[in-house]
Amino acid sequence: MRSYVLDQYKEVLFPKQISKFEKAHNAAMDRQKEREVSESKEVRAKILALAQMMQYDDDVEESAVTQNK
């Protein structure tokens, strides 16, 4: 029973010591994920802005009027 309890709760009883390099790596990975999220938001905003500026000639009657002018 003792070995079972020690095996199941070894993470709680004996927490792993994280080195400064692992901490720095984890912090860098978190910053990279945040940067990717912010960049994707910026890209989405730019795409929406470009889509608003574009003019579509999908109305047949309107495109015929502009061709006649």
- Contact (CB, 8 A) for 63 and 57: yes
The pTM of this model reads 0.49
**Residue 38 CA to its chain's centroid (Å):** 7
- Contact (CB, 8 A) for 6 and 13: yes
Any domain includes 64 = no
Any domain includes 65 = no
In total, how many domains does the chain have? Answer: 1
What is the rounded CA–CA span in Å between residue 16 and residue 21?
Answer: 14
Condensed to tens digits (0 to 9), the pLDDT of residues 1-60 reads: 788 888 888 877 777 888 999 999 999 999 999 999 999 999 999 999 888 887 666 655
Q: Quote the domain boundaries for residue 22.
A: 2-57
Any domain includes 66 = no
